[in-house]
Structure 1
Amino acid sequence: MARDTTDSRPIEDVGELVGYLAAGNKPRDKWRIGTEHEKFPFYVDGHAPVPYGGERGIRALLEGMQRTLGWDPILDDGRVIGLVEPTGQGAISLEPGGQFELSGAPLETIHQTCREGNAHLAQVREIAEPLGIRFLGLGGSPKWRLAETPKMPKSRYDIMTRYMPKVGTKGLDMMYRTCTIQVNLDFESETDMRRKMQVGLKLQPLATALFANSPFTDGEPNGLQSWRGEIWTDTDNQRSGLLPFCFSENFGFADYVDWALDVPMYFVIRDGRYHDMTHLTFRQFMEGVAHNSIPDGLPTMGDWANHLSTLFPDVRLKRFLEMRGADGGPWRRICALPAFWVGLLYDGAALDAAETLTADWTYEEVRALRAAVPAEGIAAEFRGTSLRDIGREVLTIARDGLKARARKNRDGYDETTFLSTLDEVVARGTTSAEEMLQAYHSRWGGSIEPVFLEYAY
């Protein structure tokens, strides 16, 4: 989750909010790839979750990383809750249940992204192993119940923890017991943003299926392939899921702003303190409802940037687009997720092909597919064919897009190599979740514990 900002420039009118998003427009030579990935820390001895405090806790891990990397600490009420590279090129942050997240630097190629991820995992292991800690690459916490999952000391999470049960049944599970891989991508214009947003929303269920990797809850099979995907069906539907207005042929920045203004806020920050604002929408805040309830109650651009970071649609619009549908997974998936979306969206011919493939897909159809995927994975049907068959076609488009980019590493390989783990899913006809379930019912002997060996970083 992004670092909260404190930009104190006052907001004069709604046009500035639209302009904030439009300022994300970048020429193609400035497009970058920002990959984020989360993982569950656990103790090797006993496979217990890792709390924040103590000599072998999350705080000690962060402090060790700070000494190793020389990155600046991110503090909340005096406690270190993350690290940021001094020039802003990357950050390490904590999710509510201690999930450890790398928010990668904006890079030019997936080769660089993969090297960044591998370097991060090596650095984390160097600090974590003497503490008896390793990390699990899954989309959902497989063993620990919600009550035994640690809570990180971040003020925004306290506000969210109180609010989530009021607006859905699965928000706390989302916060404390899920992990994702996410890629952030650029656009050059409002039209380019619209095309990428629409293709991204329509194909997000396919990404969830290809990356399905959360079949266990509370130590046993949960009947799903992507428990994480199911959780997002009832977390806070005012701010999550598919956005029907984005399917319009005229969708633009102003439409997203109009929607975001009517979503309840989580917080504002004043003098380093978080103030609960869940009783107001941002539009009400703009209209002056809260001016007397918080210090310096006029809305700021920092408030707007933070509000945008608390919206959770399947594709999130900020000054870039965030692809949010994938479960967390093994290290190969960290490279595969950006390869999938960069291949589809960063080459003109590939984007044309993806747009043609999905042009007449309706909101209702995509919503039904999104609902089917958590249980059915790539076997889910769409218009009389399986998602597996659609996935084969989409992966061909993504591969062609990566070939056209022709970004090669020192050994002469282009970025198509990073799609291999997804090719395997389509070729086998089984997801990572199904492979895990087969292992659980056979060689694992009905025990969840081997997952901490086979899916650990």
Structure 2
Amino acid sequence: MAETMTDDRPLTIEDLANYFAAGCKPAEQWRVGAEHEKFGFRLNTHETVPYYGPDGIEAMLKGLMRFGWEGVFEDRPDGGQTLIGLNRGGANVSLEPGGQFELSGAPLNSMHEICEETGNHLQEVKTVADELGLGFLGLGFHPTITREQAEIMPKGRYNIMRAYMPKVGKLGLDMMLRTCTVQANLDFASEADMVAKFRVSLALQPIATALFANSPFTEGKPNGFLSARANVWTDTDPDRTGMLGFVFEDGFGFEQYARYALDVPMYFVKRNGLYVDASGKSFRELIEGKLDGVQGRATMKDWADHTTTIFPEVRLKTYLEMRGADGGPWSRLCALPALWTGLLYDDAALAAAWDLCKDWSTEERETLRRDVNRLGLKATVGGRTVQDIAKDVLAISHAGLKNRARLDGGFIDETTYLGELHEIADSGLTPAERLLEKFHGEWKGDINRVFVDCAY
């Protein structure tokens, strides 16, 4: 998308809504994208990894180029450029604000392809990391460092966000610097299909939060949460986070989401390759060309950028992005896209999943979102435990994946990737509770054991 418009007319709400509607595609073209983040650390000291230096994040990115990755560069005010990511075949590697290393996978046909892609990436990362004396950790919240010890990546948008976050929430800097997630991106066929999938995935997002809860430590000690990462989102920025009650109201569609996004305060505008601070300001003013310090009216590229600064539990772009799970081991990186694919890409599964949650009130959904952060599978909603609901969710997803019949090697279907989630739901113990058992047991309170047991 170009940064300038050909007719210089102001964007309309129809333009903004059509940006999302452009994602509609027939079922045979649906794909799944998987994303995950991980914490880097120095093997000998467990310290975080800076951007610069012979064993820094920049060196990691350059080292990965031997595997066919191409560099992504950002312009700097001094006229230079900074290596901020990598591209290869529809996938990209990028950096979160505290140096969290992210793979955003290509849109793929099956969980088998996703797991192969993830495994190849982790092997490439390990090859380079071993040479640099680095390791990577799969957790939802950094287990040892303070905010002040976090390394800051040299990306323009992050400087703007770091200055703005403390004005609107107490935990936004933790979100930026000390959390990691695993996500899945899924397609929709039409506006009605988007609405159905949005409602199911948003209502059930806390169930995924419980199944993947994996962040019980802060600064070396238990923090009282099973998912400290999910708790961070409850006090980051109320304007751009949460369970979006309006999604469940009659008449919801692309236009309603566009109106919501339009009223989310901005972070930045990009002009001539550089980020311009527009934090807290109105996109409506940009549309009219009346935003102080910013040249020109809003473009569709500005709108696309703005939609990436909104962080609800499920986010609409030209696809739906599931955002409720903690980072974890390789096995659960493949499990998350499998879970949501089974629920959302089979009509019978989607209907059955909606039956599970359609009667929950706005208050119940909000309460559930907060309760699972501490209670995990022991939380309750609608008179049932999350453990029982999770078992039903997994049974529905299993059936949906079985119906897809995407086979690997001619006989293994995608249900194999749900195995670990079935074990978690059957046991009633989240991954975080297993880690706490280790901390109080075989680790004897030594948090440094996490850098062995939870490393890739």
TM-score by length of 2: 0.97
Tell me the C-alpha RMSD between the 2 structures: 1.2
AA partner of residue 8 (structure 1): T
Residue ranges of structure 2 left out of the alignment (5+ in a row)? none
* Shift in Å, 1:6: 5.9
1:294 aligns with 2:290: no
1:438 aligns with 2:441: no
The DSSP-based 3-state class of the residue aligned with 1:61 is helix
In structure 2, how many angstroms separate the alpha carbons of the residues matched to 1:301 and 1:66?
32
In structure 1, how many angstroms separate the alpha carbons of the residues matched to 2:195 and 2:380?
26
The DSSP-based 3-state class of the residue aligned with 2:376 is helix
In structure 2, how many angstroms separate the alpha carbons of the residues matched to 1:386 and 1:435?
19
1:241 aligns with 2:242: yes
* Shift in Å, 1:76: 4.1
Deviations 1:174-229 (A, max 9, x none): 00000000000000000000000000110000000000000000111001100001
Partner of 1:82: 85
Partner of 1:217: 218
In the TM superposition, 1:279-290 aligns within 5 A as 279-290=280-291
In structure 2, how many angstroms separate the alpha carbons of the residues matched to 1:316 and 1:378?
24
In structure 1, how many angstroms separate the alpha carbons of the residues matched to 2:115 and 2:300?
33
1:252 aligns with 2:253: yes
Partner of 1:146: 147
In structure 2, how many angstroms separate the alpha carbons of the residues matched to 1:52 and 1:279?
28
Contact 1:6–1:303 under 8 Å retained in 2: no
The DSSP-based 3-state class of the residue aligned with 2:448 is coil
1:132 aligns with 2:128: no
* Shift in Å, 1:411: 5.0
In structure 1, how many angstroms separate the alpha carbons of the residues matched to 2:449 and 2:436?
12
Change (3 A) 1:20 1:149: same
Residue ranges of structure 1 left out of the alignment (5+ in a row)? none
The DSSP-based 3-state class of the residue aligned with 1:356 is helix
Partner of 2:402: 403
* Shift in Å, 1:254: 0.5
Partner of 1:201: 202
In structure 1, how many angstroms separate the alpha carbons of the residues matched to 2:2 and 2:362?
36
Change (3 A) 1:327 1:393: same
In structure 1, how many angstroms separate the alpha carbons of the residues matched to 2:22 and 2:2?
18
In structure 2, how many angstroms separate the alpha carbons of the residues matched to 1:433 and 1:239?
27
AA partner of residue 285 (structure 2): Q
In structure 2, how many angstroms separate the alpha carbons of the residues matched to 1:178 and 1:351?
30
Partner of 1:331: 330
In structure 1, how many angstroms separate the alpha carbons of the residues matched to 2:117 and 2:442?
34
In the TM superposition, 1:27-426 aligns within 5 A as 27-77=26-76, 78-85=81-88, 89-290=90-291, 293-295=293-295, 297-426=296-425
Figure out how many residues of one structure are paired with residues of the other and give that number: 449
Contact 1:66–1:73 under 8 Å retained in 2: no
In structure 2, how many angstroms separate the alpha carbons of the residues matched to 1:392 and 1:181?
21
In structure 2, how many angstroms separate the alpha carbons of the residues matched to 1:74 and 1:106?
23
In structure 2, how many angstroms separate the alpha carbons of the residues matched to 1:69 and 1:33?
23
The DSSP-based 3-state class of the residue aligned with 1:205 is helix
Deviations 1:306-332 (A, max 9, x none): 000000010000100000000000000
Change (3 A) 1:208 1:6: farther
Change (3 A) 1:6 1:79: farther
In the TM superposition, 1:20-31 aligns within 5 A as 20-31=19-30
The DSSP-based 3-state class of the residue aligned with 1:450 is helix
TM-score by length of 1: 0.96
Change (3 A) 1:202 1:70: closer
Deviations 1:60-118 (A, max 9, x none): 11111123324233334211011112x5x010000000000000000000100000000
In structure 2, how many angstroms separate the alpha carbons of the residues matched to 1:122 and 1:253?
40
* Shift in Å, 1:384: 2.2
In structure 1, how many angstroms separate the alpha carbons of the residues matched to 2:294 and 2:367?
42
AA partner of residue 379 (structure 1): K
AA partner of residue 419 (structure 1): L
* Shift in Å, 1:15: 1.1
AA partner of residue 293 (structure 2): S
AA partner of residue 83 (structure 2): V
AA partner of residue 213 (structure 2): A
The DSSP-based 3-state class of the residue aligned with 2:109 is coil
In structure 2, how many angstroms separate the alpha carbons of the residues matched to 1:384 and 1:318?
34
AA partner of residue 84 (structure 1): N
Deviations 1:211-254 (A, max 9, x none): 00000001110011000011000100100011111011321000
Contact 2:288–2:298 under 8 Å retained in 1: no
The DSSP-based 3-state class of the residue aligned with 1:449 is helix
In structure 2, how many angstroms separate the alpha carbons of the residues matched to 1:191 and 1:322?
17
In structure 2, how many angstroms separate the alpha carbons of the residues matched to 1:76 and 1:381?
49
In structure 2, how many angstroms separate the alpha carbons of the residues matched to 1:37 and 1:269?
26
Deviations 1:144-200 (A, max 9, x none): 111011000000000000000000000000000000000000000000000000001
Partner of 1:452: 451
Change (3 A) 1:48 1:411: farther
The DSSP-based 3-state class of the residue aligned with 1:413 is coil
1:8 aligns with 2:24: no
The DSSP-based 3-state class of the residue aligned with 1:82 is strand
In structure 2, how many angstroms separate the alpha carbons of the residues matched to 1:310 and 1:70?
26
In structure 2, how many angstroms separate the alpha carbons of the residues matched to 1:455 and 1:318?
32
In structure 1, how many angstroms separate the alpha carbons of the residues matched to 2:280 and 2:231?
27
In structure 2, how many angstroms separate the alpha carbons of the residues matched to 1:383 and 1:34?
32
In structure 1, how many angstroms separate the alpha carbons of the residues matched to 2:382 and 2:138?
33
In structure 1, how many angstroms separate the alpha carbons of the residues matched to 2:328 and 2:69?
28
Deviations 1:353-388 (A, max 9, x none): 111221211211110100101100010011222100
In structure 2, how many angstroms separate the alpha carbons of the residues matched to 1:333 and 1:340?
10
In structure 2, how many angstroms separate the alpha carbons of the residues matched to 1:363 and 1:74?
43
In structure 2, how many angstroms separate the alpha carbons of the residues matched to 1:66 and 1:201?
37
Change (3 A) 1:334 1:7: farther
